[in-house]
Amino acid sequence: MKSKSFFILLVIGNLLTIEAQEKKESTTMNPFFQAYDTPYNVPPFDKIKNEHFKPAILEGIKRHEEEISTIANSSSAPTFDNTILAMENAGELLSNVNTVFSNLNSANTSKEIQNIAKEVAPNLSAHRDNIYLNEKLFTRVKTLWDKKESLGLNLEQAKILDNTYKDFVRSGANLSNADKEILRKINGQLSLISLKYGQNILAETNKYELVIGDKKDLAGLPQGLIDAAAADAKAKGKEGKWVFTLSNSSVMPFLQYSSNRELRKQIWNAYQTKGNHDDELDNKKNAIDLANLRGQKARLLGFKTHSNYVLEESMAKTPENAKKLLNDLWKPALEIAKTEAADIQKMMAKDGIKGAVQPYDWRYYTEKIRKERFDLDEEELKPYFSLENVRKGVFQVTEKLYGIQFKELNNVPKYHPDASVWEVKEADGTHIGIFYMDFHPRDSKRGGAWMTSYRTQKTVDGKRLAPVISIVCNFTKPSGETPALLTFDEVSTFFHEFGHALHGLLSNVTYRSLAGTSVPRDFVELPSQIMENWAAEPEVLKMYAIHYKTGKTIPDDLVNKLKKAGTFDQGFVTTEYLAASFLDLAYHSQTKDITVDANTFEKEAMSKIGLIESIIPRYRSTYFSHIFSGGYSSGYYSYIWSGVLDTDAFEAFKTTSLFNPEKAKSFRENVLEKGGTEDPMVLYKRFRGAEPSVEPLLRKRGLDKKEESLKKIQG
């Protein structure tokens, strides 16, 4: 007769067997635990389900911890290969799953994905801290860094060693144990609050609808916008009405064309108070908490402010240098903006409207003045900017500059039906990379436009591992039989994001942590912004601005009007941007915690620089996702810093030929291919032959007559 304990052991054994089998099946069914069996090894989006993410992330953390432990506890003396290179190559599973997860959380999210993000954020934050606060690991890194001159490293090896050492120091490796625990707590809070801030903005954007039921309230709006609003209404179960949203492709043209001032005011107020309603989606406290926690972290690490911490690794180097550029541009920009406001005031008076220019008046009257002064109506331009033709134009420009080609793929998994997938090839057919494009707004996508990667480029055993790059935008949707017709601003955004994509696609470095856009914030916008310059050139417009109905090329008189209006409204555009940049630095240059609320802080910061009431910062505190949930804290100024670089760099083409093969080759080899392998100014000077001049930027924005003392931006 079997004993009772025997049966207990048998049951336990069976349970363990079942658990092991379930774990095996779970691992087998989860696509992240297998090698990607897809064309070009892109993520298997068609097989990935939401339930795969959390177990893959947790398993990825576990495996990465084991790899890090092996490196840290090795009995062998530290070498570049067994420490730095080993760290570089560790964590492949975690990298794969987290890349897909974070990208989908931005481009195709859901409540389930957002909840998973909240659940795993503390794990990911703690995991990062466990690596950078590992004393044994840091000792190995520091040992190598202390004798780096005698290691015989090449340029990239020296750079990655330097970056690794700095990452440890900047992540708290030199702190006491007590301070490390404080840092861990701060990092955990930052990850959760930043996530919540971004989720609130998306929820606020999706929540608001301006529903119009009376056709007369559509006065002034272009037919394309009306049709799109009708389609949105139908999709939301409000057939027979028109729905306008806070998506930029809806709210901005409404503000630009609606002759109903009260409705403009209504949608404007909804736009500029996103996250500012004292409810569960309010971001005022989140903004202050993020700024204060970042300041506490910076001071804990020995920096005066968060801005000092961030900008140490930038081209600007210090907040003072960044502010100097902003201040030098602020005065001429504000003077021109005040002149523009006076012009608007006169036109409002003709319409019988008294009082100061309001922010919801600006775009509407600017459009009327543009039409009156330059005989240019943006609606006249849009038929020449169908998305398909603009895409072809972007491809043509890139082919003429760099000889690369694009082939659409239909056998590759996609994360959403709206996305298209392309193979990017050299002129000789050599594979460069895979490129996803996703253009139109939807409730599952956050606002704005961005470039990202699903796999960064690296070199393995002498063979280039090709990148998988994506750009995500929120352009005007097609409507009925009418294709997506872009504003020129949207055209410029397409060229901009495509420039980022080229930075990722053409990367040709050894280590993935140095690849593509892995460069300082105030350098990363150079490849994107230089592409915008080609978009407006008459020679290039003739390549892609084709009327979607007639097939005729944009006429010369329209091109000339566009060119003449090139500096129009630049006082407003530059001022609202600079105001947001000042606001960013104000939040992150504090030497102690902010004790007022976000509205009060923002008002005081804007009063300090003298911002006029007719203009608000491009992003207000409660929806400034760039700095509070997008990685640009203390870095929003970088667009104008890179603006100095891109306009100066474009001069190299403008003064020779737009498609100068020698200049294009040099820009590709010295900027686009190099990633973060060298100091940005060294790379720039290698291309340009000198440091950048600010004068091309001043001319481009029509600010050159207002300020002539600026000559150089010193790196």
Distance CA 463, CA 456 (A): 14
Decide if 419 contacts 437 (C-beta within 8 A).
Answer: yes
Q: Which pLDDT does position 12 carry in this prediction?
A: 58
Identify the bridge partners of residue 438 per DSSP, sorted by sequence position: 472
What CA–CA distances, in Å, run from 260 to 72, 220, 265, 275, 364? 66, 8, 9, 25, 10
| Residue 534, token pair as written in the block | 């080609």
Topology (CATH level 3) of domain 4-174? Neurolysin; domain 3 (1.10.1370)
CB 663, CB 652: distance < 8 Å = yes
The number of beta carbons lying within 10 Å of the beta carbon of residue 700 is 18
What's the confidence (pLDDT) of residue 334? Answer: 96
Q: What is the pLDDT of residue 658?
A: 97
Q: Is the alpha carbon torsion for 259, 263, 266, 268 positive or negative?
A: negative
Whole-angstrom Cα distance, residue 85 to residue 89? Answer: 6
Taking the alpha carbons at both ends of the chain, their separation in whole angstroms is 86
Cα distance between residue 594 and residue 80, in whole Å: 43
Low-confidence ranges of the chain (pLDDT < 70): 1-27, 705-715
Which letter does DSSP use for residue 676 in this model?
Answer: T
Confidence at residue 714, expressed as pLDDT on a 0 to 100 scale: 35
Domain ranges of the chain: 4-174, 208-272
Q: How far is CA 682 from CA 517, 579, 637, 645, 679, in A?
A: 16, 30, 21, 13, 5
Contact residues for 171 (Cβ-Cβ < 8 A; gap 6+): 128, 129, 132, 133
pLDDT of residue 22: 47
Among all residues, which ones are annotated catalytic?
Answer: 497
- What are 24-48's pLDDT values in tens digits? 545 678 999 999 999 999 999 999 9
Does this model's pTM top 0.75? My answer is: yes
Spatial contact of 142 and 165, defined as CB atoms under 8 Å apart: yes
Q: Mind listing the pLDDT tens digit for each residue in 217-276? A: 999 999 999 999 999 999 999 999 999 999 999 999 999 999 999 999 999 999 999 999
